[in-house]
């Protein structure tokens, strides 16, 4: 059984033939896609918890890999990121205290709750306030004016 392709083949030429990519370019595309997928997985606190459970955070080579992934902040790469929260967690993972906290399911659920609250209220475009304020009724206006201008006894 062949593995599924991780990178789409190049588009077909006008004559219908599909060009092949050089091996090096294909390898670079696969690496790019794998690293993009991994860095975006960091946006999920449950995934971070699983990395803690499997002791990845105890491996110095893995911590160096996280430092290497900082290149995703560069404009040439950040434009491919769909879940920008992953970059926040990538920054936090540089701190040993945060990596240790990922072992606490209570803390992980707190992060999930905060993210859910953020996504419930955040909008890309703020909706303008289109509600029409009710005009005060004339009778109520007169009563309010009368009370405001009446002398205190």
Domains identified in the chain and CATH numbers: 42-122 (1.10.10)
Query: In 22-74, where does DSSP find H-type helix?
Result: 23-41, 45-53, 60-68
Cβ-contact 90, 72 below 8 angstroms:
yes
Half-sphere exposure of 90 (CA within 13 A, CB side): 23
Whether pTM > 0.95 for this model: the answer is no
More confident residue, 67 or 151: 67
Cβ-contact 18, 12 below 8 angstroms:
yes
Q: At what angle do helices 105-121 and 45-53 cross, to 10 degrees?
A: 160
Sorted by sequence, the CB contacts under 8 Å of residue 35 that are 6+ apart come out as 69, 72
pLDDT for position 3: 56
CA nearest to 73, candidates 94, 59, 58, 54 = 94
| Tens-digit pLDDT profile for residues 117-131 | 887 777 666 666 666
């Amino acid at each position: 059984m062949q593995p599924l392709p991780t990178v789409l083949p190049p588009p077909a030429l006008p004559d219908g033939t599909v060009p092949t990519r050089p091996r090096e370019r294909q390898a670079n595309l696969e690496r790019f896609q794998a690293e993009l997928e991994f860095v975006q997985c960091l946006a999920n606190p449950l995934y971070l918890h699983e990395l803690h459970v499997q002791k990845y955070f105890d491996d110095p080579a893995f911590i160096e890999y996280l430092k290497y992934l900082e290149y995703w902040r560069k404009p040439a790469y950040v434009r491919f990121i769909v879940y920008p929260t992953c970059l926040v967690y990538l920054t936090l993972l540089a701190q040993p205290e945060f990596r240790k906290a990922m072992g606490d399911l209570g803390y992980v659920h707190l992060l999930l709750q905060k993210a859910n609250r953020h996504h419930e209220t955040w909008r890309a475009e703020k909706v303008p306030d289109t509600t029409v304020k009710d005009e005060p009724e004339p009778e109520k206006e007169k009563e309010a004016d009368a009370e405001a201008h009446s002398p205190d006894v």
